[in-house]
Amino acid sequence: MDRTQLLLMLSIALFSLGLVGVMIRRNALVMLMCMELMLNGVVLSLVTFAERTATLSGAVLVFLVFVVAAAEIAIAIPIVLLLSRQRRTLDVGAWSELKG
């Protein structure tokens, strides 16, 4: 298998594993981490294409994505902290009344 193809397959596999994790796990923090895994899979495909086409803009974009991911975590974790302080649990089932 070609190197690019192998890395794209790995990126697909990581994205799918993260998707499964977000859908089946019950712990809010674990769901957040599975979302990080999905983002890592996507970034892997971005880096693969940037390397393959030798575009530096791709590397710059990856850096900007990292910054946005850090900001996202900095907002998401205080929200999880607040939720867990209200119900004394990290189980997302405790907030099932949030569904429409």
What is the footprint of another protein within residues 46-75 (CB under 8 A)?
47-57, 59-60, 62-64, 66-71, 73-75
Minimum Å gap between C-beta 13 and another protein is 6
Binding of another protein by 42 (CB under 8 A) = no
Structure tokens at 19: 């998707």
* Residues of span 75-94 touching another protein by CB under 8 A: 75, 77-82, 84-86, 88-94
CB within 8 Å of 9: residues ≥ 6 apart: 1
Binding of another protein by 23 (CB under 8 A) = yes
Task: Report how far residue 36's alpha carbon sits from residue 65's, in angstroms, rounded to the nearest whole number.
Answer: 12
The angle, 0 to 180 degrees and rounded to 10, between the axes of the packed helices 28-53 and 56-87 is: 180
